[in-house]
Amino acid sequence: MLRIQSLLLMVLSVSLLVLTGCMEKHPAGSKEAGEVLFAACVPCHAADGSGKAHLGAPRIAGLQDWYVKEQLHKFRDGRRGAHPDDAPGLRMRPMARALSGPQDVDAVAAYVATLPKAKPAATLTGGDPAKGAAAYTVCVACHGAAGEGNELLGSPSLTGANDWYLKTQLHNFRSRIRGAADGDIRGAQMAPMAMTLADDQAILDVLAHIQSLGN
**Binding positions for ligand HEC, rule: CB under 6 A:** 40-41, 43-45, 55-58, 60, 63, 68, 70-71, 88-89, 91-92, 95, 99, 108, 112, 138-139, 141-143, 153-156, 158, 161, 166, 168-170, 186-187, 189-190, 193, 196-197, 206
| Shortest separation between residue 73's beta carbon and ligand HEC, angstroms | 10
47 Cβ neighbours under 8 A, 6+ residues apart: none
| Shortest separation between residue 32's beta carbon and ligand HEC, angstroms | 15
Q: How far apart are CA 66 and CA 82, in angstroms?
A: 21
Based on CB atoms, which residue is closest to ligand HEC, 6 or 70? 70
Q: How far apart are CA 115 and CA 44, in angstroms?
A: 15
What residue type is assigned to position 190 of the chain? M
| Shortest separation between residue 14's beta carbon and ligand HEC, angstroms | 34
Q: How far apart are CA 127 and CA 209, in angstroms?
A: 8
Q: How far apart are CA 40 and CA 134, in angstroms?
A: 40
| Shortest separation between residue 27's beta carbon and ligand HEC, angstroms | 19
Based on CB atoms, which residue is closest to ligand HEC, 16 or 141? 141
CB atoms within 10 A of CB 125: 8
